[in-house]
Amino acid sequence: MSVAELSGAALAAAPTRVSTRFFRSELLLIFGRRRNWIGLAVLAAVPVILSVAVKATADHPSNGGGLVTSILSNGLFVAMAALTLEMPLFLPVAVAAIAGDAVAGEANLGTLRYLLAVPVHRTRLLAVKFAAVLVFAASAVLLVAVVGVLVGLPLFGSGPLLTLSGTSVSFWDGLGRLALLCGYLTVCLAALGALGLFVSTLTEQPIGATIALLILTFASEIMNQIPQLHSIHRFLPTHYWSSFDGLLRSPTDYGALTPGLLNALAYVAIFTTAAWARFAGKDITS
């Protein structure tokens, strides 16, 4: 066997290292942009404003309702109420901006062709882009929750958390329920991210992809409010976004979360596959 053949055999036998450089670069790109920091700052401002408003009107608790009124009894409700308020609009807008820019942004800047020439396999590129969207979605949800806890506890205390079942649970139990709520909402936003990734492969204009995704999201929310469309509600991506009441009951009703999780995972499976099918055979001209 020649030296060249020996060298080739040695290279073939060497274990392939899995590099995270591309993924780390993508995260740096997302979290290094000033506009994304501004967006995160807006998300973080909501629990602060909510806490100040509730504290300032503490003598008039009837002005609120539901989770907002419950804030007076436990600071953890600041985080829960803030997430509930931001889920219909602010969090989807933040995720849509990142998902819509995932592929279309690279094409718009003219870097997509060079990125694939590194070479980076198209499947890996989509996987990294979607993983980065998931990290951003989880970070946005956790940011709101953490700011809510840090602001809410000093203002409203950390007493027992009153559940919807009328019983109280300990502070640490309540903190665990908040963590589960964050996980549930992140999975719901993952469905939006998958849909956005697919839309991003259809155009070279990231703003257009973001707007299209927001239109689809708001259209889903509007249709979800029309009783005559009840038969299709369970198929809408936004239908189960607020179906986390099971986390606020004692004992915790995990079964109530199952439809929402299955709905989100179905959207992830369908639209990541659609994005791959579209992008795999797409001619890259920019």
Q: Partners of 169 in the beta sheet? A: 161
Angle at 135 between CA 131 and CA 138, to 5 degrees: 135
Instruction: Determine the straight-line distance between the first and last CA of the chain, rounded to whole angstroms.
Output: 45
Residue 181, both tokens: 């709520």
Position with higher pLDDT, 65 vs 178: 178
- pLDDT value at residue 12: 46
Structural contact between residues 189 and 266, judged by C-beta atoms closer than 8 angstroms: no
pLDDT band at 197 (very low <50, low <70, confident <90, very high): very high
Higher pLDDT, 131 or 159: 131
pLDDT of residue 204: 87
Strand partners for 162: 168
CB-based contact 83:71 (threshold 8 Å)? no
What is the C-alpha to C-alpha distance for residues 258 and 245, in angstroms, rounded to an integer? 12
Query: For residue 161, how many other CB atoms are within 10 A of its CB?
Result: 25
Quick one: tokens of 93? 């807008």
Query: What's the CA gap between 75 and 69, in Å, rounded?
Result: 11
215-257: per-residue pLDDT in tens? 999 999 999 999 999 999 999 999 999 999 889 888 888 898 9
pLDDT at residue 13, rounded to an integer: 47
The conformational region for residue 19 under phi > 0 = left, psi -120 to 50 = alpha, else beta, is beta
For tokens 């903190």, the residue is 175
The share of the chain scoring above pLDDT 70, in percent, equals 85
CA atoms within 13 A on the CB side of 267: 25
Considering 4-8, 58-62, 127-131, the range whose residues carry the highest mean pLDDT is 127-131
Which bin fits 110, alpha (ψ -120 to 50), beta or left (φ > 0)? left
Look at residue 10 and tell me whether its pLDDT is greater than 90.
no
State the pTM of this model: 0.88
